[in-house]
Amino acid sequence: MRSTGSESWRSWDWRFHPNLLVTGRLHFPQLALRRRLGQLSCMSRPALKLRSWPLTFLYYLLPFGALRPLSRVGWRPVSRVALYKSVPTRLLSRAWGRLNQVELPHWLRRPVYSLYIWTFGVNMKEAAVEDLHHYRNLSEFFRRKLKPQARPVCGLHSVISPSDGKILNFGQVKNCEVEQVKGVTYSLESFLGPRTNAEDLPFPPASSCESFRNQLVTREGNELYHCVIYLAPGDYHCFHSPTDWTVSRRRHFPGSLMSVNPGMARWIKELFCHNERVVLTGDWKHGFFSLTAVGATNVGSIRIYFDQDLHTNSPRYSKGSYNDFSFVTLANKEGVPMRKGEHLGEFNLGSTIVLIFEAPQDFKFRLKPGQKIRFGEALGSL
């Protein structure tokens, strides 16, 4: 049977011109539409993102998915995670830090701090100084000290909580993967970095998960354990030594400053590996021990009291690198000794503490997932 002119046109159109999209009797030039949306492969990646963002925001905000049909002609919205990762959180946190250091007028301090106390449930009865007029700026208020008797240190257990917060996860490290929250893991090697500098290794760097674990576990029969503690904005912002140990090395990872609240930790894989963090490593009586302070949005400042050379969220450091500092010197061949409960450092606002340590197989945590914990309370013991 002989085809009609219109049928022949449709058949020829579809077979020989794939850049034309046929919908009923309307013909949309797909190539031209892609060019207008900035989706041609010849454009640079930043240009693609810049051209795609306005439509992406509309895609997520407009009712009934008004822009969803555009996906049929090759346009894809920038994902929510990609959008969030591209936010200049380091710059914003740096600006927030400057704002926090601005001295507030005496008459404005009580209403500002009272609003913060009401919003985040701060218990000022535990503060060493309860008078709100004493704190000249928000930074001083965030870093307020507690009364000595407010946090008694448990002496019966070998490892205590280094801070106030919420237990996100804990347990034994398996397959060199650590859970940041239930079901979402990150690589132990990516989080801690190489065991030592490559030039100091008497053997090649770890080439497999098992060999990296063997570099950390120094004693036969021991296992690796981890514990993740999230500090909310209303929590006490200082952190302390969780046990008697010696700090031999500090490793600073400049990085992003994304939020580390539990909801975000479920959303972004390897969040703790992307964020800026300070890893303190050393030894305790059972072998390897480490404490990592993870930065977050508006937490550009991580301070370690005995490390005056540490400067976090600094523009001179680029993301994707790390810098090491050794506390072992000719004069001090062991490092910095820390007693259980001793002041170690502080955050501005809230963030996360991650403990990764070696212990015998009979080490037991005394925790429940999601429980609130305070500095000085027991984490676990043998």
| pLDDT tens sequence across 222-261 | 999 999 999 988 889 899 999 999 999 999 998 787 777 7
The more confident residue out of 337 and 90 is 337
Predicted confidence (pLDDT) at residue 43 exceeds the cutoff of 50: no
Decide which of 280 and 75 is more confident: 280
Residue 88 backbone dihedrals phi, psi, to 5 degrees = -75, 70
Whether the predicted pLDDT of 372 surpasses 70:
yes
Distance CA 90, CA 82 (A): 16
Q: What is the pLDDT of residue 260?
A: 73
Instruction: Average the pLDDT over 314-332 and give the result.
Output: 81
Given a cut of 70, is residue 160 above it in pLDDT? yes
pLDDT at residue 186, rounded to an integer: 77
CA distances from 254 to 101, 258, 271, 350 (A): 22, 12, 13, 18
Mean pLDDT along residues 213-222: 86
Pairing of strands 238-240, 222-230: unpaired
pLDDT surpasses 90 at 161 = yes
Give 176 or 70, the one with higher predicted confidence: 176
The least confident of 26-30, 103-107, 196-200, 323-327 is 26-30
Does residue 80 or residue 40 have the better pLDDT?
Answer: 80
Is 307 part of the annotated catalytic residue set? Answer: no
Mean pLDDT across 282-286:
95
Average pLDDT over residues 83-90: 69
pLDDT of 83 higher than 90? no
Would the pLDDT of 221 be above 80? Answer: yes
Residue 20 scores a pLDDT above 80:
no
Would you give the distance in Å from CA 3 to the centre of its chain? 64
**Other Cβ atoms within 10 Å of 331 Cβ, number:** 5
The model's confidence at residue 182, banded by pLDDT at 50, 70 and 90, is low
With residue 80 as reference, give the H or E element that holds it. helix 80-85
Mean pLDDT check: name the lowest of 14-23, 148-157, 265-274, 315-324: 14-23
Catalytic choice (93, 139, 158, 164): 164
Stronger pLDDT, 75 or 28, i.e. the higher one:
75
* Torsion-angle region of 370 (φ positive above 0: left; ψ -120 to 50: alpha; else: beta): left
Give the distance, in angstroms, between the CA of residue 74 and the centroid of all CA atoms in the same chain.
34
What is the percent of the chain with per-residue pLDDT over 90, rounded to a whole number? 35
Predicted confidence band of residue 85 (pLDDT cuts 50, 70, 90): low
Q: Which residue has the higher pLDDT, 247 or 271?
A: 247
- pLDDT at position 274 is 80
**pLDDT at residue 289, as a whole number:** 96
Q: Which of 226, 237, 240, 274 is catalytic?
A: 240
DSSP 287-356: EEEEEEEE--TT---EEETT-TT---S-TTS-TT--EEEE---SS-SS-EEE-TT-EEEEESS--EEEEE
- Supply the pLDDT for residue 136: 94
Which residue in the block uniquely carries the two structure tokens 């539409």?
33
The three-point CA angle 235-238-239 to 5° equals 105
* Residue 352 pLDDT exceeds 70: yes
164 carries an active-site annotation? yes
Average pLDDT value for residue range 305-318: 82
pLDDT higher at 147 or 21? 147
Query: Mean pLDDT across the stretch 84-110?
Result: 81
Residue 288 has phi, psi (to 5 degrees) of -65, 140
pLDDT, position 5 = 44
Mapping DSSP to helix (H, G, I), strand (E, B) and coil, where does residue 82 land?
helix
Q: Token pair 């930065």 is at which residue?
A: 295
Q: Is the pLDDT of residue 313 over 50?
A: yes
Determine the pLDDT at residue 71: 52
The whole-angstrom separation of Cα 65 and Cα 189 is: 41
Mean pLDDT value of segment 60-79: 52
Mean pLDDT along residues 351-359: 93
27 as an active site residue: the answer is no
Q: Can you give the pLDDT at residue 30?
A: 44
Residue type, 196: T
Percent of the chain at pLDDT above 70?
Answer: 69
Q: What is the DSSP string of 209-272?
A: HHHHHHHH--STTEEEEEEEEEPPTTS--EEE-SSSEEEEEEEEE--B----SHHHHHHSTTHH
